[in-house]
Amino acid sequence: MVTFTKKRVKILHFRLFFLLNGATMKTLYLFAVLFLLTSCQAGKTGFLRLNNDITASFEACTILPGYDYYYSGPEAQPDVILAVKKEYTFEKGLWKAIALDQKQLCDWMRVIDPDIRGGRSQYDGYAIYSAEGKDVGLWYSRNWADWTTIKEENGKLIIYTPLDRRRKLSPFGSDRDF
């Protein structure tokens, strides 16, 4: 039976580290470079920018003209409310279209009202920009603005729904703790 003293563990640790600095490290470095190069080829994406005026507009139940409205999540309390300018062809995918009126928006705001949540809503408003920096819509959600991708392909605007972290679902549908 082999006993491991502190000195022997240090020697084994040093040997393992030394081995990783050889061919294995070169291979890992090569894969990292290839990953970075291929991820840069994925294309330009749009972005979201936090905007307190948009937050206030949603919380005041203001329906803005010139937008088509969509939501993601349960209808009783959407995870995200999305407003896309009518001039854009929107590939809705998993988004649910809604003819949003002031009554429905006020009902949603009562469910996610900041006063019910101790004076601070979990939801924030964001302006949606295309990769070219064009203002294409509005986003109102919990802190999930970094869980989406915004693209324009073949004249169509594509905005992916965020992963539902509250329900801890992975994109593959299995339970997983992020």
Strands 89-91, 156-159: pairing kind: parallel
Does the structure show a pLDDT above 50 at 99?
A: yes
pLDDT tens readout for residues 111-129? 886 665 555 557 889 999 9
Banded pLDDT at 101 (limits 50, 70, 90): very high
Annotated domain spans of the chain: 1-36, 47-159
pLDDT of residue 156: 87
Q: Which of 135, 154, 165 is nearest to 72 (CA)?
A: 165
Mean pLDDT, rounded, for 3-28: 57
Q: Which of 123, 122, 78 is nearest to 97 (CA)?
A: 78
- At residue 169, φ and ψ (nearest 5 deg) are -105, 135
Mean pLDDT, rounded, for 23-52: 62
pLDDT of residue 149: 81
Higher pLDDT: 7 or 136? It is 136
pLDDT of residue 41: 42
> pTM for the complete prediction?
0.65
Does the structure show a pLDDT above 50 at 160?
A: yes
**What's the sign of the alpha-carbon dihedral 21, 22, 24, 29?**
positive
Does the structure show a pLDDT above 60 at 61?
A: yes
Rounded distance, CA 87 to CA 115, Å? Answer: 36
Average pLDDT score, the chain: 75
Rounded distance, CA 49 to CA 149, Å? Answer: 13
pLDDT tens readout for residues 20-36? 555 565 654 555 544 44
pLDDT of residue 65: 95
Rounded distance, CA 80 to CA 95, Å? Answer: 9
Does the structure show a pLDDT above 70 at 16?
A: no
pLDDT of residue 168: 41
pLDDT of residue 54: 95
